Amino acid sequence: MPKKLLLLPQLSASSAFRIPRARPVPPPAMNAARTGYRVFSANSTAACTELAKRITERLGAELGKSVVYQETNGETRVEIKESVRGQDIFIIQTIPRDVNTAVMELLIMAYALKTACARNIIGVIPYFPYSKQSKMRKRGSIVCKLLASMLAKAGLTHIITMDLHQKEIQGFFSFPVDNLRASPFLLQYIQEEIPNYRNAVIVAKSPDAAKRAQSYAERLRLGLAVIHGEAQCTELDMDDGRHSPPMVKNATVHPGLELPLMMAKEKPPITVVGDVGGRIAIIVDDIIDDVESFVAAAEILKERGAYKIYVMATHGILSAEAPRLIEESSVDEVVVTNTVPHEVQKLQCPKIKTVDISLILSEAIRRIHNGESMAYLFRNITVDD
């Protein structure tokens, strides 16, 4: 049987199919999917979000919508108020006096963003907490290593920080760590804000800080002085105290085994290696927390003839009675960056000055998101810096 052919009706030009014109799509708002990244602040206190606001202003973005607060029972709650799926997320977390609360805020926010399908979660932690607990002491633990493992487990894939207390801390992490330097900003402050800085000498308040002081001195073409003596007590001098085997009377020792005893340290009287007479003394360090050692160093330098004394550090934690002690001391000015909020301390002591480092943090965020090299931010940086 012959097959029947189906004849389709011919379409006239007037009745041909027309492709509808695409409606104009409004451009996405800043900090939305077009940029591919968002910036959040994990702090629950307003004073700690100041640095995050400065960074987002430089980036031309807005802070991501989130709520971080403490419940009545002390638990931390984090709520993300916008979609982050497939985005690069930067969490800016400055560390206030309540360190443990800040750590929990960061961990919970990172985990919330991870479960919300963020592509990458980068922590911007200018001052890394527990960085002083990066070595074994007695029967303690290396808490900094524990914190690094917790951050990785929470979902962080990258960290931007500044002037780690020990550079070896980077080895605790299983993901990339960019350890930026604040020294270019502090060097610029010395050149622009300290009158007659050519008559200055860079001072290390202990032999441990000599490398950092030497770096400043070589870049400014200035002299170097080091304070050494019995008044100093550094981390390296702390007793290890593990005593294995324990020191017990009548303990049995393998016959013929006589281990040489480690001689106890005896520091010489306090001395200043270098000439500070008639000069401006600039003490440099990475952290200024308990200021007793800085105040004692200033008194010694004053006795040796220094007529003006500055203290410069990256992280101004300034705990306890630090503002009062600085105000009553021979220190003329304390210069720190805004890696740690210290507005309250500045109100208590007008000698405290702040250097803004939001520029380098915002540039690091931009380069990481765009996949650009970070080498520009580390130009002329050596291993000892």
pLDDT, one tens digit per residue, over 63-93 is 999 999 999 998 999 999 999 999 999 999 9
**pLDDT reported for residue 64:** 94
Pair 159, 53 in one domain: yes
Share of the chain above pLDDT 90, in %: 70
What is the percentage of the chain residues whose pLDDT exceeds 70? 84
From CA 22, how far away is CA 342, in angstroms rounded? 54
- Residue at which a domain ends, from 162, 180, 198: 180
Together in a domain, 99 and 45:
yes
pLDDT average, residue stretch 131-146:
90
Same domain, 191 and 161: no
Judgement on whether residues 173 and 203 belong to the same structural domain of the protein: no
Looking up residue 190, the CATH number of its domain turns out to be 3.40.50.2020
288 and 155 in one domain?
Answer: no
Per the model's pLDDT, the better-predicted residue between 256 and 228 turns out to be 228
Q: Tell me how far apart the 2 most distant CA atoms of the chain are, in Å.
A: 121
Question: pLDDT band at 254, cuts 50/70/90?
Answer: low
271: which strand partners?
228
How confident is the model at residue 180, as a pLDDT? 96
What average pLDDT does the chain have? Answer: 86
Q: What is residue 14's predicted lDDT score, i.e. its pLDDT? A: 46
**Quick one: pLDDT at residue 282?**
98
> Could you tell me how far CA 144 lies from the centroid of its own chain?
13
Q: 30 pLDDT exceeds 50?
A: no
Q: Are residues 327 and 294 in the same domain?
A: yes
Q: Do residues 174 and 194 share a domain?
A: no
Q: For residue 345, what pLDDT is reported?
A: 93
Read off φ and ψ for residue 131, nearest 5 degrees: -70, -20
pLDDT of 12 strictly over 70: no
User: Is the residue at 336 inside a domain?
Assistant: yes
In tens, the pLDDT along 153-175 reads 999 999 999 999 999 999 999 99
Structural domain contains residue 11: no
| Domain hosting residue 123, numbered range | 38-180
Q: What angle do CA 233, 238, 240 make, to 5 degrees?
A: 175
pLDDT class for 181, splitting at 50, 70, 90?
Answer: very high
Q: Is residue 91 part of a domain?
A: yes
The pLDDT score that the predictor gives to residue 385 is 74
297 and 331: one domain?
A: yes
* pLDDT at site 44: 77
As given in the structure block, the two tokens for residue 338 are 């805004």
In the prediction, which pLDDT does 261 show? 76
Q: Is the pLDDT of residue 316 over 90?
A: yes
Q: What value does the mean pLDDT take over residues 97-117?
A: 95
Q: What pLDDT, on the 0 to 100 scale, is given for residue 150?
A: 97
In this prediction, residues 300-323 reach a mean pLDDT of 94
pLDDT value of residue 251: 53
- Residue 3 in any domain: the answer is no
**Least confident interval from 11-25, 40-54, 111-125:** 11-25
Rounded mean pLDDT, 91-98: 90
Please state the domain count of the chain.
Answer: 2
| Mean pLDDT computed over 179-183 | 95
Residue 229: per-residue pLDDT? 79
Is it the case that residue 332 has pLDDT exceeding 50? yes
Q: Is position 247 within any domain?
A: no
Same domain, 60 and 164: yes
**What pLDDT is stored for residue 315 in this prediction?**
96
pLDDT at residue 108, rounded to an integer? 97
pLDDT of 238 > 60? The answer is no
- Rounded to an integer, the average pLDDT of 37-57 is 90
How many other C-beta atoms lie within 10 A of the C-beta of residue 306? Answer: 27
Checking if the pLDDT of 6 tops 60, the result is no
Which tops the pLDDT comparison, 19 or 76?
76
> What's the rounded mean pLDDT across residues 201-221?
94
pLDDT at 323 over 80: yes
Pairing of strands 76-80, 66-70: antiparallel
Residue 10 lies in a domain: no
- Residue 249 resides in a domain: no
Please choose, from the candidates 209, 136, 134, the residue with its C-alpha nearest in 3D space to the C-alpha of residue 171. 134
Among residues 146, 157, 92, the alpha carbon closest in space to that of 121 is found at 157
Shared-domain flag, residues 112 and 207 = no
Q: Is there a single domain that holds both residue 89 and residue 192? A: no
Are 176 and 224 part of one and the same domain?
no
**Residue 104 predicted with pLDDT over 90:** yes
The residue-averaged pLDDT of 210-225 equals 95
pLDDT at 113 over 60: yes
Structural domain includes residue 331: yes
